[in-house]
Amino acid sequence: MEKKVILITGASSGIGKSAARELAEAGHIVYGAARRVDQMEDLRPSGVGVIALDVTDHPAIEKAVDQILEEQGRIDVLINNAGYGLYGAVEDISIEEARYQFEVNLFGLAQLTKSVLPPMREQGSGRIINISSVGGKIYTLLGAWYHATKHALEGWSDSLRLELKPHGIDVVLIEPGAIDTNFDEVMAGPMKERSGQGAYAEQVDSVVRGLERFYTPENSSPPEVVSHTIQKAVEARRPKTRYATGKFSRPLIFLRWLLSDRMFDRLLGSF
């Protein structure tokens, strides 16, 4: 196995933390980046370098990339994992909140990608791994802005793959399904605050009940399932363009392809 220099964002918890630890223990040189540095301290014993980074802070992005290049001389893999889910009725979510959702899930990711491309082109190789979601292929109730970012990331990544192919740089999408992280907790509370009263209260209750059924140990996969897939994408000589992974990812993508919009709407209503 060729040792690679890897930068992964969102490494303070869940999938990002699991992937950073697994890749470092596999022998790669790994830098984990996140806003909450204190929550990455337990990665240091595995050999992970810790960087404070808010992906919406463009000067901080340049500083982080420069630090890695100064210490290692190259960046082989960028794993864009930082992100969150903004849920609630479109009527209740401010455009400022929606813009920030795009800043984190798409524009911050794009700025970081732009920053690593020049050194990757110079070395004639590299790999951009974008953590999307099955939510980039389907949709759910009260998730318009979140799904908008993930659908955008899918199209952005496909176009970027064509651009970078002549330069020896791969672009890979990882599409997790139901993963046992705190995504449901982070999503449910703010959604209740935004839309838990008034015209959309009944729909909020329906979504919360669905989350309680959906995000259980029996119905979701541990983050390690995704981190194993990420390692596979990092180390493959010729990676796939997409990896669907975790509970319900492949079935949901298949059903979205198979069913009409109205039929898929009814399917979602049955959860």
From the candidates 18, 115, 132, 157, give the one annotated as an active-site residue.
132
Tokens of 53: 């980074």
What b/e string do you get for 178-217 counting C-beta neighbours within 10 Å, with b at 16 or more?
bbbbebbeebbebbbebbbeeebeebbeebbebbeebbee
Q: Which secondary structure element, helix H or strand E, spans residue 224, and what is its range?
A: helix 223-235
No. of H helices and E strands in the chain? 10, 7
Q: Please state, in angstroms and as integers, the Cα–Cα distance from residue 43 to each residue in 27, 29, 31, 35, 83, following that order.
A: 14, 13, 10, 15, 20
Does 146 participate in catalysis according to the annotation? yes
Are 117 and 160 in contact, with CB atoms under 8 Å apart?
A: no
Residue with tokens 């022998």: 27
The yes-or-no answer on residue 270 being catalytic is no
The reply to whether 12 belongs to the active site is yes
Considering the candidates 31, 146, 200, 215, report the single residue annotated as catalytic.
146
Contact 216, 55 (CB under 8 A): no
Between CA 133 and CA 238, with CA 161 as vertex, the angle to 5 degrees is 85
Alpha carbon of 232 to those of 42, 107, 152, 228, 235: distances in Å?
Answer: 24, 26, 24, 6, 5
The answer to whether 130 and 158 have CB atoms below 8 angstroms apart is: no
139 assigned to active site:
no
Copy the structure tokens of residue 45: 């014993």
Residue 89: CB atoms within 10 A of its CB come to 18
User: Which entry of 150, 195, 220, 221 is annotated as an active-site residue?
Assistant: 150
Please tell me which residue in 12, 157, 220, 227 is annotated as part of the active site.
12
Q: Which residues are catalytic?
A: 12, 132, 146, 150
